[in-house]
Amino acid sequence: MKTLQLKLLVRGLWLHLVILSVAYGQQNHQLGQTQTIHESLRQQISNAKLNMLFAGETFAQAQQWREKFSRKLSELVGSTSPPKRWETVMVGGKRLEDHTRYEITLKAKGVPDLPVYLLIPGDGILRRRPAVVAVHGHGEFGHHAVAGRHDLPDVAEDIERANYDYGLQFVRRGYVVVCPCLIPFGDRVEKDKYGSDPCAVTFVRMMAIGRVPIAENVRDIRWAVSFLQSRSEVDPDKIGCAGLSYGGRMTMMATAMEPRIKVAAISGALNLMQERTSLRYSCGLQIIPNLLEYGDYSEIGSLIAPRPVVWEMGDEDALIIGNGWDEKFKHRLQRIYKAYDQRENLHYDHFEGGHRWNGAVAFPLFDEVLKGE
């Protein structure tokens, strides 16, 4: 009897060990699955430190943070200083019904040529005017659409889709407008020589020589500001900047780093690097290496404070993610404008529509700041 009980006990223990062994093996198999680089990077990006977020409440604290983060951003991005001397090469010009459009190439030693459109109102007023840098976004046409080149093949369709000719819209409101062509778009890219996305390829190639595309484009926008200030038609102290999509991102970047810009309209760009790089594809042109160690696009946008700015966003814009990401961005902006006691200078334009320029808040804001209307 005792022998039988002992056998049953041993068998029971053996079965128990088998069950534990199987369970342990299954657990080890699950734990032993190889983590992909995609999942690894998502985890690291989600856990990024962002250790220079603004947490102050006073004007002095806002100023102190601004100086520190501005220095850090310049360190991360690299030089964005525009040329001090350049040659202005007139490529062509055309007098239209309500403005004159000039095609110009800016040339300077040590930097690539910068094609721009210069739009001047045709109302005959000779006094100096306020001016706007109108920055284009992604797309094969570069600055042509923003300048209102409806006469070029396929450009009219691009304009119609995104209300994209805001440079033309500004000149018709009495502003002198410059539309620079950024890299790698329009006249500044040979798309057929790229095996894949020119944005990604350009980023990789520039990183190989210690530079990033975002710095090159900030420099060119700052160069466009210098060009405007050199013009007799322009009041050099009254310059704004506006852009859609990547043009919105670059408007944010340039305004944050260029104090000569007095007001900005940023359309379709209220999204964070932490969200874009962890949840979906992110364009190489927008990457600033190691930014997430210190902050995000929201902190760069905060450097615009206390100057007036409007952030446009369509309720059907698929590039602006809800789920708290947009509110996180807004909260960070609101905090520093509150510290500066300039909450009235932070504007949002929530409109019905998709990824396009709107202007309903931007145009009156620019008129108020640059024209005093």
Residues 6+ apart with CB under 8 A from 120: 99, 100, 102, 171, 176, 233
The total of other beta-carbon atoms located within 10 Å of residue 348's CB is 16
Rounded CA gap, 60 and 200, in Å? 40
pLDDT at 280 (0 to 100): 63
Phi–psi pair at 71, nearest 5 degrees = -65, -40
Q: Largest alpha-carbon pair distance within the chain? A: 118
- Residue 136 CB burial class (10 angstroms; 0-12, 13-18, ≥19): buried
d(CA 80, CA 48): 26
The number of helix segments (H) and strand segments (E) in the chain equals 13, 9
Q: What angle do CA 113, 89, 231 make, to 5 degrees?
A: 100
Tokens 């710095």 belong to which residue?
215
CB 141 within 8 A of CB 105: no
Model pLDDT, residue 327: 92
Using only C-alpha atoms, the chain has a radius of gyration, in whole angstroms, of 26
Cβ–Cβ under 8 Å, residues 337 and 345: yes
- Could you tell me which of 295, 311, 220 has the C-alpha nearest to residue 258? 220
- Rounded distance between C-alpha atoms, residue 366 and residue 209, angstroms: 39
Alpha-carbon distances of 183 from 173, 198, 201, 285, rounded to whole Å: 28, 9, 12, 9
pTM across the whole model: 0.88
Residue 49 confidence (pLDDT): 86
Q: In what order do the strands lie in the sheet with 346-351?
A: 87-95, 99-108, 111-121, 176-180, 129-135, 234-244, 261-267, 309-314, 346-351
Alpha-carbon distances, residue 180 vs 147, 188, 191, 227 (angstroms): 10, 11, 19, 11
Residue for token pair 């998502």: 42
Each residue's pLDDT tens digit in the chain (373 positions)?
444 443 433 344 344 433 334 343 444 334 557 888 878 888 888 888 899 999 999 999 999 999 999 999 999 999 999 999 999 999 999 999 999 999 999 999 999 999 999 999 998 888 899 999 999 998 888 999 999 999 998 999 999 999 999 999 999 999 999 999 998 887 888 766 666 788 888 888 888 999 999 999 999 999 999 999 999 999 999 999 999 999 999 999 999 999 999 999 999 999 998 887 876 666 788 889 999 999 999 999 999 999 999 999 999 888 776 677 889 999 999 999 999 999 999 999 999 999 999 999 999 999 999 999 7
What structural domains does the chain harbor?
56-371 (3.40.50.1820)
d(CA 130, CA 363): 13
Q: Are 131 and 235 in contact (CB under 8 A)?
A: yes
Contacts of 174 (CB under 8 A, 6+ apart): 121, 123, 125, 129, 130, 371
Question: For residues 45 and 278, is the Cβ–Cβ distance under 8 A?
Answer: yes
Q: What is the pLDDT of residue 206?
A: 85
Strands 176-180 and 129-135: parallel
| pLDDT given at position 199 | 82
- CA nearest neighbour of 97 among 178, 172, 175: 172
Q: How many CB atoms lie within 10 A of CB 128?
A: 15
The tokens for 261 are 């810009």
Peptide bond preceding 184: is omega within 30 degrees of 0, i.e. cis? Answer: yes
pLDDT number for residue 43: 85
